[in-house]
Amino acid sequence: MKAMHPLKGVGVVGGVARGKAMVSATGIAFNLGVDETTGIVIEAGHELERQCIAGRVLVFPGGKGSSAGSFSLLQLASRGLAPCAIVNVQTDAVVAAGAVLAKVPLVHRLVVDPLTEIHDGDLIEVNGDDGTVTLVGAV
Amino acid sequence: MRLSIEQQALLAGKQGWAVQWAMEMLHAVGKACNADRLIPVSSSHLVLDPFAMGESGTNIVVRLAESGARFAVPSTINAISYDRCGKTSSEPSEHDRYQRTMLDACVAMGALASCSCNPFIQGIWPTFNESVAWSESATAPFVNSVIGARTNREGATAFASALTGLTPRYGMHLDRARQGQCLFEIDATVKGLDGYNLLGALVARRSSGRIPVLTGMARPELHEMIGFGASAAIVSNLTLFHMIGVTPEAATLNDVFPRGAPAAERITQADLDAERTRLSGRKNSAVALVSIGSPHASLAELQDIVSRLNGRLVHDNVSFLVTSNHSVTGLASAAGIMDALAASGVTVTADKMCFGCDLGARKYTRDTTMVTNSVKLAVLAPGSRGVNVLVRDTATCVEAAVSGECRT
C-alpha cells in the first residue's frame, strides 16, 4: 500500500483500532481453526498455522467453516486474544456477527485488493465508523 | 440497509439492552451481506454449543435472561452436551455446567428445551415459503430444500432473530438466490441412510459452493433426506439442493433453471464406492464401537435396529451407541422398543450430541474402529475422538455390533 491517504471501503462494525497487519490469502474458521485459549491458528496446513492473531489487524478474504465461529471470536476477545481489527475482501454473517460480539472494528469491500495492497507487519489504522483503512507505517 | 423508524429506535436501545444487542448484530450482518432491510421470521432454532461459546458466551446468554428479555418468536434448542435419560455416569464437566446454565437461561426466555439436532423427527417444522432463523448447519439444507421454507446458515444471529423476530433479507430469503447452479444425473441405485449420506457428501464437494440439482433419483425416505442434507452440510456450506420431482421447488428442470439447464455431470456407483473409501479409515476387522444417530435417530431407525437385532445380544467387546432425542425415546418406550434395545445391550441416549463429548466409559485410540452409517460422524469422530471410522450400511453396523467384526 503506497498511498498514505485512507482507502475507502464499507464499514460493517464501528470503532477505530491501530495495529500491525497479519495477511492471509486463505479464509479463516474461528471455530476449530483458531485455539480460543491461545489465539493461535491451529487449522492444519493453513498459511497462518502456529501464528498468534491477538492484537493484529487481521486481513483475509472472509470467514469459512462452522457458524459457531462468531462465539469463538467472542471467547478470544474475552481473553484479550482477538485481532484488534478485521479487514475482509468480502465479509460474511459469521465474521460480522462475531466482530459485533467481540467489539472488533470491521471493514470490507475496499476500493483496492487488501490482500496485495497490505503487507504483513504494516502498521494499519482501521476505522469501522467511516469504513476506511489507512497505512500509518510500511514495513 | 434501511431500518424503519421503529427499528432505529430498537437499535438505539429503546426496548432495552437485549434487543439493542440483537439489533446491532442484525444491522452488521445485513450490511455485510448486502441486505436491503429486515424481514420477520416466525421461529428460531438455537445452538447452545458449550465448546464454541465457553464461559463468555454462557455469560452473555445469562445476562440476556437476567435483563428480563423474552424471545419474540417460538424458539427451539439444538442437541446438548449431556444425556437427559438420567443415567449420567460421571460428574458433570465444566462444559456440561455451561450447557445447563445456558439451557436454563433460554428456557427462562421462553425457549422450548427440545434439545435435538434433528427437530424434524420431533414434529418441529416451518411451512413452505416461511422465513425462519435456524442454526445447526445440518438443519438449513432440510428447511430450505425438503420443506421449501427459508433460512440462512445462522449462528449467533439466531439469538438476535429469536429476541427480535427479525432477520436481514439476503441469501436464502431471496427468490433469485434459490435457483439451481449445477446439475447432477444420478446413474446409480442409491440405497439406505449410508447411501444418501455418501451421495450428499459427494454432491456437496463437487458443487464447490454452487446450488446443486439432482435428477434421475428415486424418492428417498424422510430420514434419508435428513441424512443427505446433514452430510452435505458437514463437508461444505451447502444450504439448498433440489431433487427434480422430489423437492417442492423443483417439479421440473425448468423450475430451477429458468434460463436453461447446464450440462449434467454423472454420478455412478463407482463414484459412491470411492466416496465411501475416501470417508472411511483403514479396514480393520475388530470393531469396538458402533454409533448411529448423527443427526439424531428417528423412531423408524430405532425400529429397524430392533428388527435387525431380532433379540441377539451386542458383543462383549463392542459399545453400540444410538443417539436420539426425548420425542423419539418417549414414543419408543411406549412401543416397547427401548426395552428391546436395552435387552440386547444397546445404549440409547436422549438429547445429547454424538461427538465432542463423552462416548461412554471406555478409552478410545487410533486402533479403535467405529462403524457408523453417518458421514457427519465419519468426518468429526477421528478428530474429536481419535478413532478409526468405517462408513457402512445399517445392516453391517448391526452385524458388527453382534459379532465384534466388520469384514466387508
Chosen from A67, A70, A91 to mutate, greatest number of chain B CBs within 10 A = A67
Chosen from A36, A42, A70, A103 to mutate, greatest number of chain B CBs within 10 A = A70
Residue A139 pLDDT greater than 80, yes or no: no
Question: Smallest Cβ distance to B29: which of A66, A93, A108?
Answer: A93
Residue A58 pLDDT greater than 60, yes or no: yes
Q: Is B271 a member of any domain?
A: yes
Contact residues on chain A for B157, CB-CB shorter than 8 A: 70, 93, 97
Q: Is the same domain home to B85 and B204?
A: no
Q: Is B389 a member of any domain?
A: yes
CB-based contact B328:B296 (threshold 8 Å): yes
Mean of pLDDT over chain B: 94
- Residues 206-265 (B) with a CB less than 8 A from some CB of A: 237
Query: Tens of pLDDT along B252-266?
Result: 999 999 999 999 999
Q: What is the CATH number of the domain that holds B76?
A: 3.30.499.10
CB-based contact B38:B7 (threshold 8 Å): yes
Name beta bridge partners: A85: A57
Number of domains comprising chain B = 3
DSSP code string of B139-180: HHHIIIIII--B---BSTHHHHHHHHSEEE--GGGSGGGGS-
Q: How far is CA B181 from CA B198, B214, B380, in A?
A: 21, 11, 28
Q: Is B328 a member of any domain?
A: yes
Question: CA B384, CA B378: separation in Å to the nearest integer?
Answer: 11
Mean of pLDDT over chain A: 94
Closest CA to B162 of B59, B48, B254: B48
Task: For residue B37, give the 3-state DSSP assignment.
Answer: coil
Range of the domain at A75: 7-137
Helices B326-334 and B299-309, packing angle to 10 deg: 50
Instruction: Give the residue-averaged pLDDT of A40-54.
Output: 94
Asked if B49 reaches chain A (Cβ–Cβ under 8 Å), the answer is yes
Specify the amino acid at residue B33: C
Q: Is A76 a member of any domain?
A: yes
Residue B34 pLDDT greater than 70, yes or no: yes
Contact residues on chain B for A100, CB-CB shorter than 8 A: 24-25, 28
Residue B355 confidence (pLDDT): 64
Q: Is A28 a member of any domain?
A: yes
- Joined together, the cell numbers standing for residue A53 give 492473531
Q: How far is CA B189 from CA B145, B196, B227, B230, B379, in A?
A: 21, 10, 16, 20, 24
Specify the amino acid at residue B100: R
Active site annotation includes A66: yes
Residue A1 pLDDT greater than 60, yes or no: no
Residues B182-213 as b or e (16 or more Cβ within 10 Å = b) = bbbbbebebebbbbbbbbbbbbbeebeeebbb
Size of chain A, expressed as the number of residues it contains: 139
Asked if B47 reaches chain A (Cβ–Cβ under 8 Å), the answer is yes
Residue B366 banded pLDDT, cuts 50, 70, 90: confident
Range of the domain at B246: 179-278
Question: Shortest Cα distance from A107 to chain B (angstroms)?
Answer: 9
Q: Is the same domain home to B292 and B265?
A: no
- CA-CA-CA-CA torsion for B386, B121, B304, B80, nearest 10 degrees? 30
Residue B357 banded pLDDT, cuts 50, 70, 90: very low
User: Which residue would you say has higher pLDDT here, B235 or A65?
Assistant: B235
Q: How far is CA B93 from CA B52, B90, B358, B387, in A?
A: 15, 8, 10, 22
C-beta atoms of A75 and B54 within 8 A:
yes
Asked if B366 reaches chain A (Cβ–Cβ under 8 Å), the answer is no
Asked if B107 reaches chain A (Cβ–Cβ under 8 Å), the answer is no
Question: CA B169, CA B155: separation in Å to the nearest integer?
Answer: 16
Q: Is A66 a member of any domain?
A: yes
Residue B86 banded pLDDT, cuts 50, 70, 90: low
Residue B384 banded pLDDT, cuts 50, 70, 90: confident
Q: Is the same domain home to B258 and B335?
A: no
Asked if B52 reaches chain A (Cβ–Cβ under 8 Å), the answer is yes
Q: Is A90 a member of any domain?
A: yes
- Percentage of the residues of chain B whose pLDDT score is greater than 70: 97
Residue A3 confidence (pLDDT): 53
Q: Is the same domain home to B157 and B38?
A: yes
Q: What are phi and psi of B236, to 5 degrees?
A: -160, 180
- Report residue A40 CA to chain centroid gap: 14
Residue A65 pLDDT greater than 60, yes or no: yes
- Report residue A105 CA to chain centroid gap: 9
Question: Smallest Cβ distance to A78: which of B56, B156, B160?
Answer: B56
Q: Is A1 a member of any domain?
A: no
Query: Tens of pLDDT along B59-77?
Result: 999 999 999 999 999 999 9
Residue B187 pLDDT greater than 70, yes or no: yes
- The chain A residues in contact with chain B (CB within 8 A) are 10-13, 31, 36, 64, 66-72, 74-75, 77-78, 91-101, 106, 108
Q: What are phi and psi of B123, to 5 degrees?
A: 80, 15
- Joined together, the cell numbers standing for residue B263 give 450440462
Asked if B58 reaches chain A (Cβ–Cβ under 8 Å), the answer is no
Q: What is the CATH number of the domain that holds A22?
A: 3.50.30.10
Residue B89 confidence (pLDDT): 60
Residue B211 confidence (pLDDT): 98
Q: Is the same domain home to B161 and B38?
A: yes
A7-8 and A132-137 beta bridge pairing:
antiparallel
CB-based contact B78:B48 (threshold 8 Å): yes
For A123, the enclosing helix (H) or strand (E) is strand A123-127
Residue B13 confidence (pLDDT): 97
Q: Is the same domain home to B251 and B359?
A: no
CB-based contact B190:B272 (threshold 8 Å): yes
Question: Shortest Cα distance from A57 to chain B (angstroms)?
Answer: 18
Contact residues on chain B for A92, CB-CB shorter than 8 A: 32-33
Looking at B245, B260, B278, which one is the last position of a domain?
B278
C-beta atoms of A68 and B47 within 8 A:
yes
Number of domains comprising chain A = 1
Specify the amino acid at residue B229: G
Q: Is B197 a member of any domain?
A: yes
DSSP code string of B241-308: -EETTTSTT-SSHHHH-TT-PPPPEEEEHHHHHHHHHHHS----SB--EEEE-SS---HHHHHHHHHH
User: CA Rg, chain A, in Å?
Assistant: 13
Q: Is the same domain home to B151 and B32?
A: yes
Question: Shortest Cα distance from A118 to chain B (angstroms)?
Answer: 21
Chosen from A36, A43, A66 to mutate, greatest number of chain B CBs within 10 A = A66
Query: Tens of pLDDT along B145-181?
Result: 999 999 999 999 999 999 999 999 999 999 999 999 9
Q: Is the same domain home to B150 and B204?
A: no
Q: Is the same domain home to B86 and B165?
A: yes
Q: What is the DSSP letter of A104?
A: -
Residue B356 pLDDT greater than 80, yes or no: no
Looking at B278, B297, B318, which one is the last position of a domain?
B278
Contact residues on chain B for A13, CB-CB shorter than 8 A: 28
Asked if B31 reaches chain A (Cβ–Cβ under 8 Å), the answer is yes
Residue A5 pLDDT greater than 90, yes or no: no
Looking at B278, B312, B342, which one is the last position of a domain?
B278
Closest CA to B373 of B295, B287, B269: B295
CA atoms within 13 A on the CB side of B392: 27
CB-based contact B8:B27 (threshold 8 Å): no
Residue B344 confidence (pLDDT): 98
Query: Tens of pLDDT along B209-228?
Result: 999 999 999 999 999 999 99
Residue B301 banded pLDDT, cuts 50, 70, 90: very high
Q: Is the same domain home to B344 and B362?
A: yes
Contact residues on chain B for A42, CB-CB shorter than 8 A: none
Question: Shortest Cα distance from B276 to chain A (angstroms)?
Answer: 23
pTM of the entire structure?
0.94
Peptide bond between residue B119 and the one before it cis (omega within 30 degrees of 0) = no
Q: Is B408 a member of any domain?
A: no
For chains A and B, CB pairs below 8 A equal: 89
